Structure 1
């Protein structure tokens, strides 16, 4: 049986929509596709359910537009786990089918579909091209763009220490503008509301540059120890290094808010060697996939760790 997900190509929003439905058609008892909101330019923000269990686990990707390779990575992992369950495979002694009867993975593969489209196809796809060019320093090359289509960094939008976010340009930009208020952008608000509607036990937010794992945000000692134990397992699995954020981290990120609000473990995983303000070259994909293939499994095994 041919694979549905072809990750080693420019992976567009349209491809995501097509592949999501194809996966649901192939694995109707395991996969469901849900629209949880719409972007500024009215593209769907999809949450894809894998499994039927009561313990919810969240994995998200492409908060930042140029980091779109996180989308096919999550889709590829999802197909791998669905196929493994159908064919009664085991991961490290655990039968995948049983795991998916106990857990429900929620994949949000592309938080920022407008931004991804801008990076991949350029400003001609949007009506406010003059604004986009100005926010991009009048360059027609948008491959370094991180923000959504209104020039807001979606991973600086969550309501935790938002007022104290550092290095904010104060106006729309290709990167780092936190917006005029927390959750001002429909994309970040959709993620926020979706998480509020679920009892998420553990979460991972995928980003793309540095081969690093962020795991702590102003946590109590006991909770930080439990989170660090899981982070160390993730580091051993992936080969990525753990990052200690210091005593006064900037805030505003999805992982920051989730840890602070829910007192549950959450991790920001940077998948590639540092490549600067650029999309990750596709020749890194095989190494990235092998490093991250078992991350959902590891999250599931550790889903009951809490404060």
Structure 2
């Protein structure tokens, strides 16, 4: 499976038995799957099936689904409201008793609202169900088109995400190679800090041991480096697996950021501080792109 974006568009036209229609699907980022359906032409009855079909193919995204229906052939009969027409003729004759009504005048009266009305032709349930199946079949075509578009956008996302992960890895390696992060440097710094504590006053051996352990913990960033490397491996595994990984990647970005914050808090020289700040910037860029992943 590949990484899929939540952004996409699809449009499919169809026609059968005097009906023509167009499906339009639009998708943007969303925390979950939110499907908004607009159906016209008497096809509102299909809404539940449309929602179910869409949810079978997509897990996240704000999805707008629109069906526009037009009649491509006459499917209606017409009835004349004779009482209303007779009343209109009577009114017209009051204004012109000297001449008979022309055909043109009758045509004008027919255009009055309520005189000529369309009556929908009756159809059996089997005919309606068959047409519904054809219309829903073209929805599946639109969904396939949407999935392909989201996958295409996902390929671009995948390249950007992998680039950000590579940059995180390079920065983590730099941080691990900083002079302040080496064991001998930590030992020397710890020795100096203990000497400063001793000069400041007398400490009991147990208290001195506790302070030394605390200083050592604050100075050692190896644990943070190891966790960051583990997160890098996890991110690459997710991208390789693909599918609906947006939520997992977003959580992983939070873990990345937590370790970067700890690294910054432990940094005691400019080089290590710069690495920590650069990490935070790259992680923020990664998380921004992750918001587009399904």
TM (norm. structure 1) is: 0.21
Q: Which has more radius of gyration?
A: 2
Select the structure that is richer in helix. 2
Could you say which structure has the greater relative contact order, defined with CA pairs below 8 angstroms and 6 or more residues apart? 2
